[in-house]
Structure 1
Amino acid sequence: MGTREASILLGISRQRLLVLLAQGRVKDAEKNGRFWEIPVSETGMPVIIPARRGPKGIWHKQEPTKPKMIHVNQSKIKGNKGKPPEKLEPVLSVKDGERNDYGYDLYIPGPCHIVYRPYKPAKCGAHLWINTYNSVEFVDTKFNLNPATARQPSKQIYNI
């Protein structure tokens, strides 16, 4: 696999992975021209060799077993009707276990699965949601009407 896929699986930035590759800490990784070829172990993850000194690494040791849930909150959409822009509440939430993050505009960089379960809703009561194992990025966490700045990424990536 390449550096982009490996960094997403490991839950670290691509730049950090490039540093680990340069240090020779990714097991059996080879450079082929300009690109890195990173093998995966039996668990489907690249193997990082821990450093001898310093803090422990924070990369994922195995693939996540539970996806992130992206929920569009219908009751908040209805509640926002007729409100001025400065009073609008965020309608998108990313749920991962006990953690909830809210925003108005969300980017999903990889594959996702849209789920509709009218007879078996999620714990939060949602009947329709999106599941993904990838890191997601809120593009807008404060409602922004200025088109010049509304689509500027917030640099806030959630590895949840």
Structure 2
Amino acid sequence: MKKIIHVNQHVIRRNTKHGTDEPVLTVKTYKENNYAHEAIIKTKDGVELAKVIYSPHKPLSCGARVWVELDTDTTDVDLIVREGENND
């Protein structure tokens, strides 16, 4: 089954504006939507590969409130740049 992790920027803005703490991540399948502040990406064996983290009260130094963290001992990242897209 395919799952999509969606970051809802409208909820991030609303939380920032009103001081609320609603979950901004939606994990979607064809059957349901589940809402969270953090999503942990694991193998079928339970090994954690990465986390999608929402941290409104302690953003990164660049100002990001949502980011993906991974352990490079178990996981690596390949970067793909597509021609014709904005690559700023």
Q: Please, what TM-score do these two structures have when normalized by structure 2?
A: 0.44
Instruction: Return the structure number with greater helix share.
Output: 1
Instruction: Return the structure number with greater strand share.
Output: 2
| Bigger radius of gyration among the two | 1
